[in-house]
């Protein structure tokens, strides 16, 4: 199975050998605890602070504005819970404005803040492409809003949101904006000041870094309560011994990904566009997400009369590793809430397919997939007893 064609880079990426080389000494010889006073500790601390400095330079912020976490999920949890609870304590703010197309790490955290902590959760509308419009943020913002959260680049549908426009509105009204940017850094230059953002979540394993390490950018002065308590690590915002090799790996992976954005993007856009035009030749198929404002490595579809999980299994058997949407939802028979929020009917949403490319994807991989896919979709339809799909079903 190692010869499978991998089309699931939005779920995770292989570790870049250069990243592994940078990490390795911190497992073996430089294994110290950065909080220790002796030489081992000092060298480990220097490695953490050097990584922080490199990441700050790449993101256009100060090193003190970065908090290391255990991954994208934790960064999102810290941003939402930490900022919501701090805003309530500081100014009595009790309302959360969250897009309906968030990763579950944001969506479920916002729901828990509503059900267990009494926040009022207001969902922003999205258009048919899953995009949030700045004027809707302006319309729904109130003085008692603690936090707005809008995903930067969507993991399921690839749509890129106008974050800097949304940020300008939030800033004018004095309300914090968080964005989950975890899918973005391998494909877009990221600068926190250009974005005008207050809180930004990042993770390493979507950009050829290790799983289990992430970062929260927190603009200086942004009130945040720690959600993991203990030692005074990370200026008291995130307790726990630093994962030194992974933090070093995050910095290395992030720098490499950002420096290679142009190359990666031009290489992948052509392959992506070929996939989109070929797959849309299959009957009763539809692109999900924005046709232009989308990640360059991301193609996502729905097929009428198809069980998405059945299609994934057929693809897997045929040697293609794809996804139905978020890796965190695999096996869940419910149609994706992201697709439903965009107005796609449950019947179509059940047949979702996500094809995501990365720097190791070759034209030959894409050719093989495009050759195999049409008949696999027809087989999945036959399993559902849906043989009578015709051209009239092209549009929902
Ligand atoms: C992968 C992902 C996450 C979760 O990050 P982990 O590091 O896997 O916890 C959150 N949001 C988005 C958009 C993602 O793609």
- DSSP-derived letter for residue 47 is H
Of these residues, 61, 170, 322, 328, which one is catalytic?
328
Nearest CA to ligand 1 atom 14: 182
Nearest CA to ligand 1 atom 5: 72
Angle in degrees, CA 329, 73, 205, rounded to 5: 85
CATH topology of domain 3-12+261-384: 3.90.1150
Whether residue 328 lies in the annotated active site: yes
The whole-model pTM stands at: 0.95
pLDDT reported for residue 315 = 98
Q: Given pLDDT bands bounded at 50, 70 and 90, which one contains residue 285?
A: very high
Q: Which long-range contacts (CB under 8 A, 24 or more apart) does 309-316 make?
A: 309/333, 310/380, 310/383, 310/384, 311/351, 311/353, 311/376, 311/377, 311/380, 312/353, 314/376, 314/379, 314/380, 315/372, 315/373, 315/376, 316/4
For the chain, the structural domain boundaries read 3-12+261-384, 17-259
Q: DSSP per residue over 21-42, as a string? A: HHHGGGTTTS---TT-SSHHHH
Distance 390 CA to ligand 1 centre (A): 37
- Which residues, judged by CB distance below 6 Å to any ligand atom, belong to the binding site of ligand 1? 71-73, 76, 103, 105, 151, 155, 180, 182-183, 203, 205-206, 214
Average pLDDT over the chain, rounded to whole?
95
For the ranges 147-156, 310-319, 379-388, the lowest mean pLDDT is seen at: 379-388
Q: Please give the class, per CATH, of domain 17-259.
A: alpha beta
Work out whether strand 352-356 and strand 298-303 pair parallel, antiparallel, or are unpaired: antiparallel
Distance 203 CA to ligand 1 centre (A): 7
205-252 pLDDT, tens digit each: 999 999 999 999 999 999 999 999 999 999 999 999 999 999 999 999
Mutate to test the pocket of ligand 1, among 98, 149, 154, 183 (most ligand atoms within 8 A of CB): 183
pLDDT reported for residue 334 = 80
Q: Given pLDDT bands bounded at 50, 70 and 90, which one contains residue 384?
A: confident
314-337 pLDDT, tens digit each: 999 999 999 997 655 555 668 899
Region 183-197 average pLDDT: 97
């Amino acid at each position: 199975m190692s010869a499978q064609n991998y089309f699931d880079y939005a779920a995770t990426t292989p570790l870049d050998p250069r990243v592994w080389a940078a990490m390795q000494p911190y497992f073996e010889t430089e294994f110290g605890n950065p909080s220790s006073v002796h030489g081992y500790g000092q060298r480990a601390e220097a490695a953490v602070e050097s990584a922080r400095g490199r990441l700050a330079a790449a993101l256009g912020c100060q090193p003190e504005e970065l908090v290391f976490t255990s991954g994208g999920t934790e960064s999102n949890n810290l941003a939402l819970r930490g900022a919501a609870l701090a805003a309530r304590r500081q100014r009595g703010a009790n309302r959360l404005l969250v897009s309906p197309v968030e990763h579950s790490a944001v969506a479920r955290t916002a729901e828990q803040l509503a059900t267990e902590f009494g926040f009022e959760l207001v969902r922003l509308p999205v258009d048919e492409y899953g995009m949030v419009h700045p004027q809707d943020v302006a319309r729904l913002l109130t003085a008692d809003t603690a936090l707005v959260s809008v995903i930067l680049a969507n993991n399921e549908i690839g749509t890129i949101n106008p974050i800097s426009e949304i940020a300008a509105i939030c800033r004018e009204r004095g309300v914090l904006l968080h964005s989950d940017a975890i899918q973005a850094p391998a494909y877009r230059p990221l600068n926190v000041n250009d974005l005008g953002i207050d809180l930004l979540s990042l993770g390493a394993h979507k950009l050829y870094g290790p799983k289990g390490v992430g970062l929260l950018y927190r603009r200086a002065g942004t009130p945040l309560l720690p959600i993991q308590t203990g030692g005074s690590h990370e200026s008291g915002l995130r307790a726990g011994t630093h994962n030194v090799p992974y933090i070093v790996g995050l910095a290395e992976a992030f720098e490499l990904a950002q420096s290679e954005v142009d190359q990666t993007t031009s290489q992948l856009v052509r392959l992506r566009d070929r996939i989109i035009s070929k797959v849309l030749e299959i009957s009763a198929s539809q692109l999900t997400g924005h046709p232009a404002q989308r990640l360059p490595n991301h193609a996502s579809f729905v097929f009428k009369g198809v069980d998405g999980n059945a299609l994934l299994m057929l693809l897997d058997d045929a040697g293609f590793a794809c996804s139905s949407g978020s890796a965190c939802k695999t096996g869940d028979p419910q149609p994706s809430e992201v697709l439903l929020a965009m107005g796609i009917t449950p019947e179509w949403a059940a047949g979702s397919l996500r094809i995501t490319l990365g720097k190791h994807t070759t034209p030959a991989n894409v050719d093989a997939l495009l050759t195999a896919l049409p008949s696999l979709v027809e087989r999945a339809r036959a399993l559902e007893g849906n043989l009578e799909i015709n051209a009239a079903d092209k549009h929902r």
